């Protein structure tokens, strides 16, 4: 009879627990900053190293594989939402919904209040499009040209643009970072967004006050020709006049009503996209084939077949703004999640997260301290590696169970991650976001950072509310995390 040997595993000591993280920091920093290697390849290298650590500790590949699959299974609904976001963006662009929102936003520009207006316009654009880079690279660049022509203080205008752009990156359901934060913590997307109002609204109000006061000493009647050119180009490409404009607002209204009534996210997005397709065909005169292409591969300027439209002479900011969306545009983020979960799954099996969290939690005995530690680690990690998605997934995996165990809804964690990662990223000079903003706006990161109020007020209010208890969601019977909370309590 064959003898069955019992598998023995060793518990990771602190050195073995920290080793994969140290390796990850080195690989990501060297790979991203020095050699510009695709981060997905770097994550797979980190995953392979961590797998070796887990195997050394006596774990099997099957254990690691099962853990990765389990984490992906939990995240898959959020990844499906991410793909639906790409589909919805493509339909909203071709229907004229996003162009109309941009069109409205640009109408409110007042040269007298260029700083606060730059903030508000990029807020509107980034929320409606879900892209901070797109908002800064299109309207933001145009506003910088306007500000330069007026002789306005460029660091202040650039800081306002960055803050406004990242307001949307943080709050829009179309944003990849908003979705990634929800994925990392397995939190409902719209509940996550709603919970962020506690820290984002105060930051928004403070930003407006700062920008109004800063702009009071500056007034000009300068021209806004470049912005006018964008407005005219949008009006030439799409039917945006009244009452058509009201029809174009139906798709986002569907999403807003669906989220307020707490309807399932994916069906709401699909209905909104379907309505946008009908609007595109009826109002904009676009073929169903082009609508389908826009939803899958993203909108392309070549879809305009009207001979009266001269695409060669369209102001360059317009294609940069419109040519986006489609499910394929979200695949990079989805693949990032797959690669990162490979690393995190191996890290979990190796016991690294448990060992590190056990050491940290010895000194963290309250909600305020827990949120403070989360926020500080978020700022430190995003500063070191300059990559938000990895930071989300790593800290989400590290802290999620601890938040639930302490009777805190996971949306507290997802909000803290956004407050300490998403909006801090553009303040890091060597991050991709910092480099992009500097090159796009023509102002050094260190110069615009003091004016990007919204990018650091979030951390302050997250910590403040953690200690006061204001805006902290507790686990209650019937809440999303209640069953998990009971399970964790029974395991203690």
9 in any annotated domain: no
Q: What percent of the chain has pLDDT over 70?
A: 88
The neighbour count for residue 310, using CB atoms within 10 Å, is 9
Please identify which residue in the block is written with the tokens 């002479």: 313
Average pLDDT rounded to a whole number, residues 49-75: 89
Residues 6+ apart with CB under 8 A from 214: 115, 153, 156, 451
pLDDT value of position 1: 44
End-to-end Cα spacing for the chain = 39
142 in any annotated domain: yes
Kindly indicate the confidence band of residue 310, based on its pLDDT and cuts at 50, 70 and 90. low
- Over the chain, what is the mean pLDDT? 84
Kindly indicate the confidence band of residue 223, based on its pLDDT and cuts at 50, 70 and 90. very low
103 in any annotated domain: yes
Q: Tell me the pLDDT tens digit for each residue of 29-52.
A: 888 778 888 878 988 999 999 999
> 3-state SS string over 397-445?
HHHHHHHHHCCECHHHHHHHHHHHHHCCHHHCCCCHHHHHHHHHHCCCH
Closest CA to 123 of 170, 168, 174, 158: 168
490 in any annotated domain: no
260 in any annotated domain: yes
161 in any annotated domain: yes
- List, as one string, the DSSP characters of 46-80: HHHHHHHHHHHTT--HHHHHHHHHHHHHHHHHHHH
Expressed as residue numbers, the domain containing 114 is 77-330
The backbone region for 386, taken as left when phi is positive above 0, alpha when psi lies in -120 to 50, beta otherwise, is left
> Whole-model pTM?
0.71
Please identify which residue in the block is written with the tokens 């690669």: 339
pLDDT value of position 84: 84
484 in any annotated domain: no
pLDDT value of position 143: 77
295 in any annotated domain: yes
Contact 445, 423 (CB under 8 A): no
Does the structure show a pLDDT above 80 at 487?
yes
In angstroms, rounded to a whole number, what is the distance separating the alpha carbons of residues 140 and 40? Answer: 29
Total domains, the chain: 1
How far lies 481's CA from each of 195, 295, 462, in Å? 15, 34, 21
Interior/surface letters 138-157, b for 16+ CB within 10 angstroms, e for the rest: bbbbbbbebbeebebbbbbb
How far lies 175's CA from each of 102, 401, 454, in Å? 16, 25, 17
CB-count exposure of residue 343 (10 Å: 0-12, 13-18, 19+): buried
């Amino acid at each position: 009879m064959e003898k069955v040997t019992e598998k023995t595993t060793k518990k990771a000591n602190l050195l073995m627990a920290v080793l994969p993280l140290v390796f990850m920091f080195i690989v990501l920093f060297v790979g991203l900053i020095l050699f510009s290697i695709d981060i997905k390849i770097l994550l797979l290298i980190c995953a392979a190293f961590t797998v070796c650590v887990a195997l050394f500790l006596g774990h099997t590949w099957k254990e690691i594989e099962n853990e990765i699959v389990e984490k992906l299974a939990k995240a898959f609904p959020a990844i499906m939402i991410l793909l639906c976001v790409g589909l919805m963006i493509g339909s909203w662009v071709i229907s004229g919904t996003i162009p109309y929102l941009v069109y409205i936003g640009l109408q409110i520009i007042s040269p007298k209040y260029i700083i606060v207006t730059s903030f508000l316009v990029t807020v509107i654009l980034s929320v409606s499009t879900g892209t901070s880079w797109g908002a800064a690279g299109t309207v933001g660049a145009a506003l910088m040209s306007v500000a330069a022509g007026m002789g306005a203080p460029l660091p202040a205008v650039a800081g306002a643009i960055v803050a406004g752009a990242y307001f949307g990156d943080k709050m829009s359901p179309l944003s990849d970072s908003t979705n990634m934060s929800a994925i990392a913590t397995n939190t409902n997307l719209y509940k996550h967004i709603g919970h962020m109002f506690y820290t984002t609204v105060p930051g928004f109000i403070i930003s407006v006050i700062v920008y109004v006061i800063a702009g009071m000493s500056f007034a000009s009647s300068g021209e806004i020709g470049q912005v006018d050119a964008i407005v005219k180009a949008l009006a030439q490409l799409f039917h945006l006049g009244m009452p058509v404009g009201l029809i174009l607002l139906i798709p986002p209204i569907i999403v807003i009503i669906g989220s307020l009534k707490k309807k399932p996210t994916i069906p709401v997005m699909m209905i909104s996209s379907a309505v946008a397709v009908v609007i595109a065909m009826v109002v904009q005169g676009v073929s169903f084939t082009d609508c389908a292409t826009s939803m899958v591969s993203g909108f392309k300027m070549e879809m305009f077949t009207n001979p009266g439209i001269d695409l060669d002479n369209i102001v360059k900011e317009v294609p940069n703004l419109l040519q986006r969306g489609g499910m394929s545009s979200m695949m990079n983020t989805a693949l990032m999640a797959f690669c990162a979960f490979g690393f995190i799954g191996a890290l979990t099996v190796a016991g690294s997260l448990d060992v590190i969290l056990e050491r940290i939690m010895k000194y963290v005995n309250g909600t305020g301290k827990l949120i403070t530690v989360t926020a500080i680690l978020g700022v430190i990690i995003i500063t070191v590696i300059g990559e938000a998605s990895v930071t989300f997934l790593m800290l989400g995996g590290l802290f999620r169970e601890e938040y639930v165990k302490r009777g805190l809804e996971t949306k507290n964690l997802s909000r803290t991650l956004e407050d300490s990662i998403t909006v801090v990223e553009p303040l890091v000079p060597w991050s991709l976001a910092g480099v992009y903003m500097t090159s796009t706006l023509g102002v050094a990161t260190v110069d615009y950072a003091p004016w990007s109020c919204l990018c650091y007020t979030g951390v302050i209010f997250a910590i403040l509310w953690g200690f006061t208890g204001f805006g902290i969601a507790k686990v209650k019977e019937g809440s999303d995390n209640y069953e998990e909370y009971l399970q964790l309590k029974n395991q203690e």
